[in-house]
Amino acid sequence: MELYYSFSVLIVLASFFSYLNLRYLKLPSTIGVMLIAMALSAFLVIFGNIFPKTLSNFSELINRFDFSELLMGAMLNFLLFAGAIHINIADLREQRLPVIVFSTVSVIISTFFVGIIMYYIFPVFTLQVPFIYCLLFGALISPTDPIAVLSILKDAKVPKSLETKVAGESLFNDGVAVVVFAVILQLAHGKEIDISFLNISWLLIKEAAGGFVLGIVLGISASNAMKRIDDYIVSVLITLSVVMGGYLIARAMHISGPLTMVAAGLMIGNYGKKAAMSAVTKDYLNKFWELIDEILNAILFLFIGFELLLIPHIINYWAIGLICIVIVLFSRLLSIWLPTLFIPFKKKFSSGTIKILVWGGLRGGVSIALALSTGEGPYYQLIIAITYFVVVFSIVVQGLTIGRLAHKVLPHVSKQS
């Protein structure tokens, strides 16, 4: 019952903050909820001596939830499925080469650039951080966050082709990012692991391809089942079972749960909706997953705002945090620009397109969850703090300006292009 009470408090706060944002701030829902939660967290930290009981109660409430497990093991699956079910697979197929390259090659390029630069930057701030931990930070901060990207792109007026590139990359890069992060984390903890090219390639193929194949099988099977009954209640239950049961299967098989959800969502959202559903069932299914998406996004960004309570003395890291923002953006630029020089994409990337891809590569809850999963150690608080600076800047500053930047650098392109 204690977990129920804790979750009830979060739901009440999420709804109240969503109301305040819609009524007064009028920001995109995810950003508004996060900023209000951060403001409350900062208030409690600053006036902690005056309200010690309130501060401890909020900290205890957040501590009850394992954010890494909650996001990576539960919420991410629902949010990825909810995002993928609304994506047109024809648009994705048209942008398949950029999506594949940016979700694989670019993640690896960014990981190493961030790691190498940070290794030489940390000593400037009298911080001696081993190279392997610099790479670990590079691995967790390089993947763009599908939750942040998809929720904010809804409000940003970017061209359709660009939206597909950014959204597609964010949906598919988790498989590569998690494998790279897991390998580096084991090395950082001193564990023996085969880091040969063949072994790492096999891990990536197993994680990514295995998850994708499982998702396709689940999506087609669920679509065929819904085709035979055409009942909106049972259809919703089937999609829920795909998400929850699919994750359990992926976990048991040691393959990518996020990619399983993306592939299943794409199958049901395209093949299933066209061949297996009446208009009524399709309408109910769309509305159900839109509600799930909005509710879980509100809770997630509430969590991100309250994570500030779990980083003591975060103000001590402000300088290195600001430097990290610049380094991550620079590495993102290199990871997008370098592939465009060597890979024969169907269309040449203009400087405006590259700017949008760089600025639209938002970081979010996934990076925080990975940072929290690094485990207690001498560099734990440092990694958490600088990750938080990058994520907050990414969501608030980049998220609020991506639409205006798109119209500034691509004035000749409409949203439908």
Model confidence at 156, pLDDT cuts 50, 70, 90, reads: low
Average pLDDT over residues 92-113: 93
Query: What is the spatial distance between Cα 96 and Cα 165, in angstroms, rounded to a whole number?
Result: 8
The set of residues, in sequence order, having a beta carbon less than 8 Å from that of 337 and lying 6+ positions away, is 354
CB of 330 closer than 8 Å to CB of 110? no
- At residue 223, the pLDDT reads 94
Per-residue pLDDT at 411: 63
pLDDT range class, residue 403, cuts 50, 70, 90: confident
Quick check: 257 pLDDT over 80?
yes
Region of 347 please: left (phi>0), alpha (psi -120 to 50) or beta.
Answer: beta
Q: Which is nearest to 308 in space by CA: 376, 375, 368, 373?
A: 368
The pLDDT value recorded for residue 414 is 46
Mean pLDDT, rounded, for 14-39: 94
416: pLDDT strictly greater than 80: no
- Residue 342 CA to residue 408 CA, distance in Å, equals 27
Work out whether the CA dihedral 299, 304, 305, 306 comes out positive or negative: positive
* 356, burial (CB in 10 Å: exposed 0-12, middle 13-18, buried 19+): buried
CATH code, residues 5-409: 1.20.1530.20
Position 358 pLDDT exceeds 90: yes
Closest listed residue to residue 242, CA positions, set 267, 276, 205: 267
| pLDDT at 114 > cutoff 90 | yes
Q: What is the pLDDT of residue 386?
A: 97
Residue (of 194, 82, 202, 200) closest to 146 by Cα position:
82
Query: pLDDT, tens digit, for every residue of 175-211?
Result: 788 888 988 998 888 777 777 778 878 888 888 889 9
pLDDT in tens, 263-275: 999 999 999 888 8
Region at 231 (left for phi over 0; alpha for psi -120 to 50; beta for the rest):
beta
CB-based contact 230:277 (threshold 8 Å): yes
| Range 52-80 average pLDDT | 83
Whether the predicted pLDDT of 52 surpasses 70 = yes
Region 46-60: mean pLDDT is 75
Residue 6, CB half-sphere, CA atoms under 13 Å: how many?
14
- Residue 68 one-letter amino acid: S
- Helices and strands in the chain, H and E counts: 20, 0
Q: What b/e sequence results for 100-117 when a residue is b if at least 16 CB atoms lie within 10 Å of its CB, and e otherwise?
A: ebbbbbbbbbbbbbbbbb
Res. 415: pLDDT tops 50? no
Confirm if 105 and 177 have CB atoms less than 8 A apart. no
Q: Residue 269, Cβ neighbours under 10 Å: how many?
A: 26
Per residue in 281-293, pLDDT (tens digit) is 999 999 999 999 9
More confident residue, 312 or 363: 363
pLDDT of res. 154: 66
135: CB partners within 8 A, 6+ apart: 111, 112, 115, 184
**CA–CA dist 127, 107 (Å, integer):** 26
Q: Name the more confident of 319 and 157.
A: 319
Alpha carbon of residue 293 to chain centroid: 13
**Mean pLDDT calculated for residue range 220-242:** 94
Within 189-267, where are the H helices? 197-229, 232-253, 257-267
What is the average pLDDT across 62-81?
87
List the structure tokens of 320: 């290195």
The neighbour count for residue 146, using CB atoms within 10 Å, is 28
- Residue 413 — φ and ψ, nearest 5°? -105, 130
pLDDT over 70 percentage in the chain: 97
Asked if 205 contacts 175 with a C-beta cutoff of 8 angstroms, the reply is no
Place of tokens 């009954």: 229
With contact defined as beta carbons under 8 Å apart, do 73 and 247 qualify? yes
What pTM did the predictor assign?
Answer: 0.91
- In whole angstroms, what is the distance from residue 362 CA to residue 329 CA? 10
pLDDT tops 80 at residue 174: no
Q: What is the pLDDT of residue 333?
A: 97
Q: Per-residue pLDDT averaged across 220-229, rounded?
A: 93
User: What phi and psi, each to the nearest 5 degrees, are found at residue 356?
Assistant: -65, -40
386: part of which helix (H) or strand (E)? Answer: helix 380-393
> What Rg, from alpha-carbon coordinates, does the chain have?
21
d(CA 137, CA 416): 37
| The pLDDT of residue 281 | 92
Query: Which has more confidence, 177 or 141?
Result: 141
Residue-averaged pLDDT of the chain: 89
